[in-house]
């Protein structure tokens, strides 16, 4: 058992209101520099929709992640021999149009335009070329189903749905969508790290954050096609790749990441998971339908004395173990099993999890009266307007059973809480439902509390950084301290 | 290191001195080296136009050249033939007339020291019964039909030159060649036999080609003396035939080049037809028109 720790996040999609505050907070801190205008380390997508970059889930085009081959796995995009004919370019990268050409407006013209018959306007200009452009698309062009005959209709997750199901999704007055916020998944088997010829990408030992070493990156751009989530980006100004750093400077000082901190719907939960790194290779190799369970099995119980012993032997600090025992992520993923990884079939073993959304109550207007389209207070999620297969394509590699399990449990919790607080549902029936959903009254209270009443401290549980522990493995910590801090990163021009 | 020397002026001076002394030393060394081997210098730079006691080639026979002009004039002539011609010196103009307009060029690496060493050498050689620079020892036998064929094979590279020199056709062409013609980097050699005034001049040229481009190549891989005669025979034959230049070959070459490039591009496009060309634009286009 090779116990390691990972800072991990859960997104409760039922609570996401699609306000993009997380994206803006992230952009203001990290990607408002020249060369990064087009990057959105955090973005919020509308599903069904094609996302950013367009159709990033279409691995036939972008060749992201791993594929199974001869009993082993290999990168889809590149490899030691396959890189040779393409050594100077990677043919499967998204182009600028697939992201979008970043733009601003020429506000000056509002003040400086000569007097004329028309109101002056601020015309859009490209932030790359500085020239006037016609805006064709943006990073959330398909937001709230805008342009849905083009964008929503081309969502790769619609694969495997019947024509009827597809028709239903886009039927007038039955349109439905939900939001899907995305950051780097800080995977256990990251394909970006595997593809990097310079060894610049690495997964930080103490907290599992995947980082690009800006000193070592040589701009080969292998990571860009290799990441199936398209969450590494090429900075055209510095000629190096960049990606979400899970706000590690904030985490090290006890602050929540910017996206987490600014989240209006409080949908995000951050905590530590302990996992068994010995299993990574075997799990990534399993058949598709076993991946979800095996991935969950890698996550270890932080209360288990055996695990604690192995963790300590592996140099995991006591404070990390203590933090892992209080981790909200552990509860959602492992104890309750209602959070699922996005696109497990890419075999990168992502370490961010999503609680699938309960889709909206189906009602219609009948004259002035609102009419429920289903029996009972809550809709039957089996008849949901978003087919189970669609959610399964997103969160469980097509395995509808896993999605059904989480929805059933969430539904049972709602019924139970309705019985407690309003009482118009029979308590016995509600409890029966809980049992049928593989749950219990205690668990239902736990889910209810952490979903609806949670405080900041319950959602955000991470240990002190213990940077000195990590530094000690490479260098004398005192020497390290003396070599960083006040000073110049680059020699000043005038000579020193 | 760089930073250190920027900071310490002493180190600067030291490295400056080192550089200057190195340059001076190498200048002296190389001029000495050249002065030591004026005979080699003569063979490489002079022998194709001049003999000593072997009669006139393109330039005059240099035997007893010291009797014809002063040492000072000759040194100046070697150093700057162009300047002296331009100044209208009557003897230089006479030389140019005798050479039918051909002008001597300043040879590479010519310095006052080299010029004096060369003139001393020529004086020495003039006293000898038979100088080593009396001219290439190419046989006087009449040129045969086989020689022409052999020369053609050598010219076209069908037969490899004995010392592995490159075949003439790589850079030169003659008008009798059909199709795309030969190389166009060098001169058209149809009238080379006439230009170099016949067998003797052409042979001398071939034994040690003095031109800027050919000299460094054939210094390493000289044309064998046995190969000179067939080449002369071939080029003489060309001069005698004196066919007009095939004007279309030049244009054909360009057209074939453009055509070939287009064919290649089309093949590449077919081969990589399924390459990645963006996702969003094709998707939008297909949704509206598909």
Nearest chain A CA: its distance from B258 CA (Å): 26
Rounded CA gap, A105 and A92, in Å?
A: 31
Structure tokens at A307: 């695990």
Instruction: Examine the predicted complex and report whether its ipTM is higher than 0.90.
Output: no
Mean pLDDT of chain A, nearest integer: 91
Rounded CA gap, B21 and A150, in Å?
A: 76
**Shortest CA distance to B82 belongs to which of B110, B55, B45, B48?**
B110
The answer to whether residue B220 neighbours chain A at the CB level (below 8 Å) is: no
Reported confidence tier of residue A263, pLDDT bands at 50, 70, 90 = very high
Average pLDDT score over residue span A96-101: 94
Which residues in chain A are contacts of B6 at CB distance < 8 A? Answer: 495
Average pLDDT score over residue span A66-95: 88
Of B276, B279, B287, the CB nearest to A91: B276
Specify the residue for token string 């046995």: B226
The lowest-confidence range among A355-369, B30-44, B216-230 is B30-44
Cβ within 8 Å, pair B280-A91 = no
Which residues in chain B are contacts of A136 at CB distance < 8 A? Answer: 281
Reported confidence tier of residue B129, pLDDT bands at 50, 70, 90 = confident
Which one-letter DSSP state was computed for residue A135? -
Mind listing the pLDDT tens digit for each residue in A167-205? Answer: 877 777 677 899 999 999 999 999 999 999 999 999 998
Select from B274, B276, B290 the residue whose CB has the most chain A CBs within 10 Å, as the one to mutate to test that interface: B276
Cβ within 8 Å, pair A150-B278 = no
Which residues in chain B are contacts of A58 at CB distance < 8 A? Answer: 279
- Tell me: pLDDT of A66 over 90: yes
Mind listing the pLDDT tens digit for each residue in A221-246? Answer: 999 999 999 999 999 999 999 999 99
CA angle B142–B145–B147, rounded 5-degree value: 70
- Tell me: pLDDT of B10 over 50: no
- Tell me: pLDDT of B3 over 60: no
- Tell me: pLDDT of A10 over 60: yes
Which residues in chain A are contacts of B284 at CB distance < 8 A? Answer: 150
Structure tokens at B71: 């040492």
Nearest chain A CA: its distance from B17 CA (Å): 25
Q: Which residues contact A464 (CB under 8 A, 6 or more apart)?
A: A254, A319
Q: How far is CA A386 from the centre of its chain?
A: 20
Structure tokens at B230: 């067939």
Window B:249-278, CB contacts with A under 8 Å? 275-276, 278
Q: Which residues contact A208 (CB under 8 A, 6 or more apart)?
A: A4, A5, A6, A7, A8, A186, A188, A351
Strand residues in A349-461 grouped as ranges (E): 352-355, 363-366, 369-372, 460-461
The answer to whether residue B279 neighbours chain A at the CB level (below 8 Å) is: yes
The structural domains of chain A, ordered by start, are 265-461 (1.10.3650.10)
Tell me the pTM: 0.71
Ramachandran bin of A70, using left for φ above 0, alpha for ψ from -120 to 50, beta for the remaining angles: left
Which one-letter DSSP state was computed for residue A139? T
Select from B2, B8, B268, B280 the residue whose CB has the most chain A CBs within 10 Å, as the one to mutate to test that interface: B280
- Contact assessment for residue A8 and residue A352, using Cβ atoms and an 8 Å cutoff: yes
List, in sequence order, every residue forming a beta bridge with A9; answer none if it has no partner. A270, A352
Which one-letter DSSP state was computed for residue A228? T
Q: Which pLDDT belongs to residue B1?
A: 38
> Using CB atoms within 10 A of its CB, is residue B111 exposed (0-12), middle (13-18) or buried (19+)?
middle
Of A91, A136, A149, the CB nearest to B275: A91
The lowest-confidence range among A33-37, A56-60, A386-390 is A386-390
DSSP labels for B147-213?
A: HHHHHHHHHHTSS--TT-PPPGGGT-B-TT--TT-S-SSS-B-TTHHHHTTHHHHHHHHHHS--STT
Which residues in chain B are contacts of A92 at CB distance < 8 A? Answer: 276
Q: Which pLDDT belongs to residue A291?
A: 94
Reported confidence tier of residue B2, pLDDT bands at 50, 70, 90 = very low
């Amino acid at each position: 058992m090779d116990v390691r720790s990972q800072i991990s996040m859960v997104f409760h999609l039922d609570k996401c209101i699609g306000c993009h505050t997380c994206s803006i907070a992230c952009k203001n801190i990290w990607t408002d520099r020249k060369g990064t205008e087009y990057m959105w380390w955090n973005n919020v997508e509308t599903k069904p929709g094609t996302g950013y970059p367009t159709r990033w889930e279409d691995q036939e085009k972008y060749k992201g992640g791993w594929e199974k081959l001869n009993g082993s796995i290999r990168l889809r995009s590149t490899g030691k021999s396959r890189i040779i004919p393409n050594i100077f370019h990677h043919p499967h990268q998204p182009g600028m149009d697939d992201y979008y050409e970043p733009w601003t407006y020429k506000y000056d013209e509002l003040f400086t335009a000569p007097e004329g018959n028309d109101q002056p306007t601020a015309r859009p200009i490209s932030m790359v070329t500085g020239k006037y452009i016609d805006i064709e698309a943006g990073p959330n062009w398909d937001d709230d189903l805008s342009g849905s005959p083009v964008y929503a209709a081309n969502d790769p997750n619609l694969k495997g749905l019947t024509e009827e199901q597809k028709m239903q999704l886009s039927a007038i007055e039955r349109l439905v969508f939900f939001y899907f916020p995305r950051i780097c998944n800080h995977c256990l088997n990251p394909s970006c790290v595997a593809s990097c010829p310079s060894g610049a990408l690495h997964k930080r030992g103490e907290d599992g954050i995947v980082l690009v070493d800006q000193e070592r990156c040589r701009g080969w751009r292998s990571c860009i096609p290799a990441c199936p989530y398209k969450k590494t980006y090429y900075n055209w100004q510095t000629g190096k790749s960049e990606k979400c750093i899970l706000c590690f400077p904030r985490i090290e000082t006890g602050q929540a990441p910017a996206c987490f901190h600014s989240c209006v719907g409080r949908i995000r939960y951050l905590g530590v998971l302990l996992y068994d790194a010995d299993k990574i290779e075997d799990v990534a190799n399993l058949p598709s339908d076993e991946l979800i369970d095996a991935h969950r099995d890698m996550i270890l119980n932080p209360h288990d004395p055996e695990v604690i012993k192995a963790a300590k032997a592996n140099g995991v600090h006591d404070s990390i173990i203590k933090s892992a025992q209080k981790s909200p992520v552990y509860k959602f993923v492992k104890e309750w099993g209602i959070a699922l990884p996005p696109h497990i079939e890419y075999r990168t073993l992502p370490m961010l999890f999503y609680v699938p959304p309960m889709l909206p109550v189906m009602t219609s207007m009948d004259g002035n009266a609102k009419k429920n389209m289903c029996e009972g207070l809550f809709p039957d999620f089996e008849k949901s307007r978003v087919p189970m297969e669609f959610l399964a394509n997103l969160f469980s590699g097509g395995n509808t059973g896993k999605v059904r399990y989480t929805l059933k449990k969430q539904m049972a919790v709602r019924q139970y809480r309705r019985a407690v607080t309003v009482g118009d549902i029979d308590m016995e029936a509600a409890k029966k439902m809980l049992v049928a959903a593989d749950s219990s009254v205690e668990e239902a209270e736990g889910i209810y509390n952490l979903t609806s009443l949670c405080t900041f401290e319950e959602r955000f549980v991470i240990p002190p950084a213990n940077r000195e522990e990590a530094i000690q493995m490479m260098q004398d910590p005192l020497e390290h301290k003396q070599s960083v801090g006040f000073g110049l990163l680059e020699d000043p021009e005038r000579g020193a | 290191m760089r930073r250190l020397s920027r900071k310490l002026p002493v180190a600067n001076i030291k490295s400056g001195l080192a550089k200057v002394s190195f340059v001076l030393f190498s200048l002296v060394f190389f001029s000495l080296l050249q002065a030591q081997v004026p005979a080699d210098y003569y063979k490489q730079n002079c022998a194709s136009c001049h003999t000593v006691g072997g009669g006139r080639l393109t330039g005059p026979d240099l035997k007893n050249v010291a009797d014809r002009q002063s040492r000072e004039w000759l040194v100046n002539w070697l150093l700057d033939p162009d300047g002296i011609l331009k100044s209208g010196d009557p003897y230089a103009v006479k030389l140019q007339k005798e050479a039918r307009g051909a002008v001597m060029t300043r040879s590479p690496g010519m310095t006052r020291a080299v010029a004096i060493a060369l003139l001393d050498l020529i004086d020495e050689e003039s006293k000898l019964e038979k100088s080593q620079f009396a001219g290439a020892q190419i046989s006087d036998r009449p040129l045969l039909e086989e020689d022409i064929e052999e020369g053609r094979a050598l010219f076209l590279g069908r037969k490899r030159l004995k010392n592995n020199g490159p075949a003439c056709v790589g850079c030169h062409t003659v008008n009798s060649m059909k199709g795309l013609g030969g190389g166009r980097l060098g001169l058209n050699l149809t009238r080379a036999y006439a230009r170099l005034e016949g067998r003797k001049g052409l042979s001398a040229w071939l034994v040690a080609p003095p031109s800027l481009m050919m000299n460094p190549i054939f210094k390493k891989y000289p044309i064998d003396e046995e190969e000179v005669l067939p080449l002369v025979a071939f080029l003489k034959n060309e001069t005698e035939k004196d066919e007009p230049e095939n004007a279309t070959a030049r244009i054909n070459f360009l057209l074939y080049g453009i055509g070939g490039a287009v064919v290649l591009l089309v093949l590449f496009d077919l081969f990589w037809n399924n390459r990645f060309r963006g996702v969003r634009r094709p998707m939008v286009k297909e949704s509206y028109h598909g």
